[in-house]
Chain A
Amino acid sequence: MSETKKFMYVNRKAPYGTIYAWEALEVVLIGAAFEQDVSLAFVDDGVYQLIEDQDTSGLEMKNFSPTYSALGDYDVKKIYVEKESLEERGLSIDDLQHLTWEDEDEDYAEKDSIQVVTRAEMADLFAESEVMFNF
């Protein structure tokens, strides 16, 4: 790919009940496979997508939450979660999966992928991105 663009994927919906979250994740992985500069944002009910220990056995839907841990392998290192969205739902970063990526240049040191940012900071991130996808 000759030109790298800043892609921002915005996830606003709860993981199950609609297909948006899973579709978004697939699109992200496809975009990342083409070595674009990929960021993910989780806002509103989208923060539920990253909740730890999901169990979908009562829903008859595939539990795709383990797939978020593959994002690091796809070089997706920038995952932003909105602080206000967490707080409004009584959640904190401790309720979320611990997502990491490995820095090959530092002997595969594990580094955190998730950053909690304020609504104002999120707005700046959106403004900086060149291509936005809303799910």
Chain B
Amino acid sequence: MPIEVNGKVLETDEEGYLADITQWEPGVAEVMSKEDDLTLTAEHWELINFLREYYEEYQIAPAVRVLTKAVGKTMGKDKGNSKYLYSLFPYGPGKQACRYAGLPKPTGCV
């Protein structure tokens, strides 16, 4: 279903992931989180930005186990654990955060 962000209509796939990653802007995450009744905090943005940087470097959305490890390494062990990540993104840090970040569904996620 397409979503409307700042007056622009953006295509998504059947699971709600952005069809074209280059169309992403912060408003995408705002609109998607509103639909999920989630209020984005600085901690959410930290993870969204982290995912976007990961994609920029490796051209993939990481599996949640890989994401957890990578977060732990760069942001510290208190954030690199599934309890913290799920507290931010209850639908799954891989799936939900990747969707907000405009990334495809994580590779290795079924």
Contact = CB atoms under 8 A, between A and B. Distances in A.
A and B form one complex: yes
Given A66-B57, A74-B63, A108 B73 contact: yes
Interface residues of A, number: 18
B40 interface: no
Contacts of B66: 33, 70, 73-74
B58 A33 contact: no
B108 interface: yes
Interface residues of B, number: 15
Interface in A86-116: 102, 108
B108 A62 contact: no
Interface in A45-78: 62-64, 66-67, 69-70, 73-74
Interface of B: 57-60, 62-63, 65-66, 69-70, 73, 107-110
Interface of A: 26, 29-30, 32-35, 62-64, 66-67, 69-70, 73-74, 102, 108
